[in-house]
Chains A and B, each alone.
Chain A
Amino acid sequence: GQNIDQPTEMTATEGAIVQINCTYQTSGFNGLFWYQQHAGEAPTFLSYNVLDGLEEKGRFSSFLSRSKGYSYLLLKELQMKDSASYLCAVGDSNYQLIWGAGTKLIIKP
């Protein structure tokens, strides 16, 4: 079967660093996406990884290891506005996205 696992909830402190992990088992692999979703709003695109390694984009970085079926999203210098759910999604062999349930990130002052 196809499966995406990520922690349900994480808590971090403003100004700190947090790493949100995602592991996956899918039929085929056509890249891994991270989306951010604030409460009551639509998901918005953060990053896309298709090759192994780290992709950095400002305060956010995303890492992929295809051999391990593993990715993480790293958020640095956390701000209160980073409080949101973070969704991991994998493109399968049909280029359809398989979605994780999301990780709710709570930032405390």
Chain B
Amino acid sequence: DVKVTQSSRYLVKRTGEKVFLECVQDMDHENMFWYRQDPGLGLRLIYFSYDVKMKEKGDIPEGYSVSREKKERFSLILESASTNQTSMYLCASIETSGGAGDTQYFGPGTRLTVL
């Protein structure tokens, strides 16, 4: 079974803090994604990565950055957390790129609250 893990299930930070969210997958997947999920909205793509050291902006990259130094690890960074970044953050990975029908495997999510 594919396993995607995230560093924290719940996180509380203060406005202006730098926040790191870590995601690790154990199936040697090339592609990894960061989403945020808010009530009444669909999952929105923040950033994705097709390979080590490669990153692409998603639909809502503002206020975020990412790092992919190793294939299995994809980190999401909030440079200066703001209250409107309070959300559920979900990491996902898939095996191939551009593959219609490839299943995305999700981590358990990190519920971030910014005070």
A-side interface residues toward B, CB under 8 Å?
4, 8, 30-31, 33, 40-45, 48, 50, 87, 89, 91, 95-102
Contacts and interface: CB of A to CB of B under 8 A. Distances in A.
Given A42-B106, A101-B40, A31 B90 contact: no
A97 B104 contact: yes
B90 A101 contact: no
A31 B94 CA distance: 15
A96 B47 CA distance: 11
Interface residues of B, number: 23
A30 B41 contact: no
Contact of A102 (B42, B58, B90, B97): B42
A95 B96 CA distance: 11
A35 to B, nearest CB: 8
A48 B101 CA distance: 6
Contacts of B104: 43, 45, 97
Interface of B: 4, 35, 40-45, 48, 58, 90, 97-101, 103-109
Nearest to B97: A95
B43 A99 contact: yes
B98 to A, nearest CB: 5
Contacts of A99: 35, 42-44
* Central interface residue in A33, A42, A44, A96, by most chain B CB within 10 Å: A42
25 contacts: A8-B40, A30-B100, A30-B101, A31-B100, A42-B106, A42-B109, A43-B43, A45-B104, A45-B105, A48-B101, A48-B103, A87-B42, A89-B42, A89-B43, A91-B101, A95-B97, A95-B98, A95-B99, A95-B100, A96-B45, A96-B48, A96-B58, A97-B104, A99-B42, A101-B41
Interface-central residue, B4, B35, B100, B107, by most chain A CB under 10 Å: B100
A51 B106 CA distance: 25
